[in-house]
Amino acid sequence: MTQSEEFFTQDVMDYADGVIPLTADQKSTIVERKYESTNPLISDTQHKGVWPRYGLLAHPKLGLTEDHGVIINLMGTSNGEIAIAPDGSILRGDAIDIREELIGVNLTRSQEFVFRVEKLTKTNGPKLREELQHTADQRRKEGEADMMDSIGASFVEAMQMLKAQGAQTAQTTNPAELAEFMKWKAEQEPVTEKANSPVTSTSSGKGKK
């Protein structure tokens, strides 16, 4: 973590919801630089003197992320005209003209803006996000419990239906018909045994001549 990150995150973590008071040093610290081309064909915007950037939820150079729940307001002010040379160096003032004469190419001019923290507002965003996540997890668990209860209830209902069908089948059997069947079966048993007994042959009693 850089010095500028520690410079702001310490107060943010210890402060409650609301506008966080900033020291003079914090307000004067440059936290960002941006370059805006003065050529309207290159840049869609042309800020005059100031460049406000409000409502940011994170800023890496401040060490602030969305988890901190801070609304960041930055104010950019013009820091003069610059040109970026082909080698990436930033030129100012007369150095721009000298380099252009040396290389024989007109360099693209831009306006430099330096940004400082104008206001930091601590919100309860992280707490609300945590509560929403907890609610979602709770609803998911309740949904799973309801599903298991529904499956259990369906199983019990099915078992009761099968049991009821079995009892109904036993109750529809007529005792008189059952007794008649058993009597008929008993009468058939001797006949079956006689029919299955072996046949004994008898001699004619005639002698040989």
- 102 and 54: one domain? yes
- 20 and 100: one domain? yes
Tell me the residue type at 161: M
In-domain check, residue 205: no
In-domain check, residue 86: yes
DSSP secondary structure of 71-111: EEEEEEEEEEEEEE-TTS-EEETHHHHHHHHHHT-PPPEEE
- 13 and 116: one domain? yes
Given a contact cutoff of 8 angstroms between Cβ atoms, the answer to whether 25 and 19 are in contact is no
Distances (CA, A) of 80 to 33, 93, 109: 12, 9, 10
- 67 and 135: one domain? no
What pLDDT does residue 77 have? 96
**40 pLDDT more than 50:** yes
- 163 and 70: one domain? no
pLDDT bucket at 201, cuts 50 / 70 / 90: very low
In-domain check, residue 11: yes
Per residue in 102-143, pLDDT (tens digit) is: 999 999 899 999 999 999 988 876 565 565 556 666 667 766
Per residue in 41-85, pLDDT (tens digit) is: 888 888 989 999 999 988 988 888 888 888 899 999 999 999 998
- 49 and 65: one domain? yes
- 43 and 115: one domain? yes
Structure tokens at 101: 């004469």
- 117 and 28: one domain? yes
**209 pLDDT more than 50:** no
pTM score, two decimals? 0.57
Average pLDDT, the chain: 77
Largest separation between any pair of C-alpha atoms in the chain: 167
Domain boundary, last residue among 123, 146, 180: 123
* DSSP at 46: -
Q: Which residues pair with 59 in a beta bridge?
A: 64
- 93 and 35: one domain? yes
Question: Which parts of the chain fold into alpha helices (H)?
Answer: 3-14, 24-28, 94-103, 125-171, 175-196
- 150 and 107: one domain? no
In-domain check, residue 178: no
Per residue in 3-20, pLDDT (tens digit) is: 555 666 666 666 767 888
In-domain check, residue 177: no
Range of the domain at 163: 125-172
Q: Which residues contact 28 (CB under 8 A, 6 or more apart)?
A: 116
Structure tokens at 10: 């310490």
- 104 and 145: one domain? no
Given a contact cutoff of 8 angstroms between Cβ atoms, the answer to whether 38 and 111 are in contact is yes
In-domain check, residue 190: no
In-domain check, residue 184: no
Domains identified in the chain, total number: 2
In-domain check, residue 191: no
- 68 and 148: one domain? no
Tell me the residue type at 76: G
